[in-house]
């Protein structure tokens, strides 16, 4: 089985990291292909960039010319998942939803710890639309920008661990979802400090995508995610569809 894992930003090192993380979570026999959009922002931290990413991810997936069995959109709180679901029959899994859905099997309430404060409403909105917000205790920001996770990993770990601990103590979270890129040590440190299970969205999404494929389940095409109707698309990377 081949799963496309699409980064939402154009930073190749991040794509590489996500691919490694995904492959680690994958079952034997699952091939992970990590894609980077041709255009868009080097990091996605708001609505403008997220809308670019929505189209950039669709473009990246439609240009991929080999068969694949599922797609993972690897951005926390981003737009675009519904568009992919219209374009494809194979399952599309968003890591924000994958993490929340997984966390809900592990504790009564979960919290998300993310990067900048400005990303919080985007994540809250995504969880609300997905109907996965009822057991969300809080979405907390570490104050670290996406790229700082790479450039200042120690400070980032500390800031994230601190918010995770606050979520458990103050917001009664029983599970933490990491709403930001994967540093290998992050999961372990958060778990050690808080004593609660820690869910990484990319890993969760990989197992969900694999499960859907193995069960032969595909996106429903009867209404919301029916294929786009044939029509004229003008001057756009995706025109060729």
For a copy of itself, the binding residues in 32-71 under the rule CB under 8 A are 38-43, 45-52, 54-56, 58
Window 66-125: residues binding a copy of itself (CB under 8 A): 79-80, 82-83, 85-87, 91-93, 97, 101-102, 104-109, 117-118, 120-122, 125
CA dihedral 122, 23, 101, 175 (to 10 degrees): -90
Q: Which stretch binds a copy of itself (CB under 8 A): 14-22, 130-138, 148-156, 158-166?
A: 130-138
With vertex at residue 218, the alpha carbon angle to CA 215 and CA 220, rounded to the nearest 5 degrees, is: 135
Judged by phi (left if over 0) then psi (alpha if -120 to 50, else beta), residue 128 lies in: alpha
Choose which of 133, 148, 150, 158 interacts with a copy of itself (CB under 8 A): 133
Count Cα neighbours of 206 within 13 Å in the Cβ-side half-sphere.
25
Residues 6+ apart with CB under 8 A from 55: 40, 80, 83, 237, 238
Reported as type and span, the H/E element at residue 179 is strand 175-179
What's the CA gap between 20 and 195, in Å, rounded?
26
DSSP strand pairing (136-141 vs 198-200): unpaired
Q: Which stretch binds a copy of itself (CB under 8 A): 14-22, 152-160, 177-185, 222-230?
A: 222-230
Among 67, 134, 154, 240, binds a copy of itself (CB under 8 A): 134
Residue 25 binding a copy of itself, by CB under 8 A: yes
Element (H, E) at 136: strand 136-141
* Residues 153, 147: Cα–Cα separation, whole Å: 10
Number of residues engaging a copy of itself in binding (CB under 8 A): 92
Residue whose CB is less far from a copy of itself, 45 or 69: 45
Please say whether the beta carbons of 1 and 210 come within 8 A.
yes
Shortest Cβ 47–a copy of itself spacing (Å): 4
Which residues in the 181-220 window bind a copy of itself by CB under 8 A? 194-197, 199, 203-204, 207-208, 210-212, 214-215, 217-220
Find the shortest distance in angstroms from Cβ 184 to a copy of itself: 14
The first and second tokens of residue 195, run together, are 């004593």
In contact, 174 and 103? CB cutoff 8 Å: no
Q: How far is the CB of 160 from a copy of itself (least distance, A)?
A: 18
Query: Among 7, 10, 111, 114, which residue interacts with a copy of itself (rule: CB under 8 A)?
Result: 10
Residues 166-185 that bind a copy of itself (CB under 8 A): 168, 172, 174-175
Out of 65, 66, 222, 240, the residue judged to bind a copy of itself by CB under 8 A:
222
């Amino acid at each position: 089985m081949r799963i496309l894992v699409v980064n939402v930003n154009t930073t190749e090192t991040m794509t590489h990291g996500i691919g490694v993380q995904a492959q680690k979570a994958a079952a034997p026999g699952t091939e992970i292909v990590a894609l980077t959009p041709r255009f868009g922002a080097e990091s996605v931290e708001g609505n403008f960039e997220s809308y670019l990413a929505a189209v950039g991810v669709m473009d990246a997936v439609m240009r991929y010319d080999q068969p694949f069995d599922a797609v993972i959109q690897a951005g926390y709180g981003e737009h675009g998942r519904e568009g992919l679901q219209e374009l494809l029959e194979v399952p599309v899994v968003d890591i924000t939803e994958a993490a929340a859905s997984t966390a809900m099997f592990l504790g009564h309430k979960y919290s998300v710890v993310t990067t900048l404060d400005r990303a919080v409403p985007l994540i809250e909105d995504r969880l609300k639309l997905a109907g996965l917000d009822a057991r969300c205790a809080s979405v907390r920001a570490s104050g670290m920008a996406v790229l700082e996770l790479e450039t200042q990993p120690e400070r980032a770990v500390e800031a994230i661990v601190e918010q995770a601990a606050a979520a458990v103590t103050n917001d009664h979270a029983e599970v933490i979802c990491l709403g930001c890129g994967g540093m290998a040590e992050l999961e372990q440190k958060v778990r050690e400090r808080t004593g609660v299970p820690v869910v990484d969205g990319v890993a969760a999404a990989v197992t969900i995508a694999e499960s859907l494929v193995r069960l032969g389940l595909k996106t429903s095409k009867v209404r919301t995610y029916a294929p786009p109707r044939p029509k004229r698309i003008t001057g756009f990377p995706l025109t060729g569809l």
